[in-house]
Amino acid sequence: MPGAWLVLPTYNERDNVEAFVRAAHAELARLDGEHRILVVDDSSPDGTGEIADRLARELTRVEVLHRPLKQGLGRAYLAGFERALDGGASLVLEMDSDFSHDPRDIPRLIAAAAGADLVLGSRYVPGGAVTDWGLTRRLLSRGGSLYARWLLRVPVRDLTGGFKCFRRELLEALDLRGVHADGYGFQIELTYRALKAGFRVCELPIVFRERRVGASKMTARIALEAVWKVPALRLCTPR
């Protein structure tokens, strides 16, 4: 089993981070290999970073990357990817740290990476689902994925999801320094770049749930960014 690093960006997740890291740690501990959890904290004023540091002192598979400023989800993921690759990761996972994604699905994504370069935890393939969302949010999420899928002409059903497992070779081949989007746009861009570069992408059904505690970090700016970013991707991404 290759060494997998789970990258968890956090900002003001004091009420979620400890329970989530412990749950993810338990799943990784069941697997063979030198797996690690990397918490990437953007100087959360609520003490999230201090909780993560305490967990890192207690749990040998956990480490923390502190960033001095809040620069967006995409920047946090890219910093985490760089650290994971420098640390020798063969697989790099990303997911939300608020229990929207189920830590029990981590082994499934890792196992699926044996036959794909990028595994997507997908809400919109058979067996996938979204719970606890109202109609408006469901329509926005589904509509965003359909919009991106139609404009980019790709077969992926869930382009905006944030639960993924990358093989090292894929991340090394992509120009990560050229990725500038955040939120939905960041997720769309990475998957599209992987497809255009000829890498194998598969979707694994997951159930997405509303966060347990706290407010969503998604903003109108992030959602609107995805709207203009999609046509720009199609025009600018090398064939």
Q: Looking at residue 230, what is its pLDDT?
A: 74
Which tokens sit at 141? 């999420």
Q: Looking at residue 225, what is its pLDDT?
A: 59
d(CA 88, CA 27): 20
Q: Which domains does the chain have, with CATH numbers?
A: 4-236 (3.90.550.10)
Three-state DSSP class for 20? Answer: helix
Q: Looking at residue 43, what is its pLDDT?
A: 93
Q: Looking at residue 83, what is its pLDDT?
A: 97
- Dihedral angle computed from the Cα positions of residues 193, 194, 199 and 200, in that order, rounded to the nearest 10 degrees: -130
Q: Looking at residue 228, what is its pLDDT?
A: 59
Q: What angle do CA 126, 129, 131 make, to 5 degrees?
A: 165
Q: Looking at residue 1, what is its pLDDT?
A: 46
pTM (2 d.p.): 0.90
Q: Looking at residue 227, what is its pLDDT?
A: 65
Q: Looking at residue 211, what is its pLDDT?
A: 62
d(CA 117, CA 123): 19
In the block, tokens 């997507």 appear at 120
Q: Looking at residue 216, what is its pLDDT?
A: 54
Task: Of 29, 108, 86, give the one whose Cα is nearest residue 61.
Answer: 29
Q: Looking at residue 133, what is its pLDDT?
A: 72
Positions in the chain whose pLDDT score sits under 70: 1-2, 211-228, 231-239
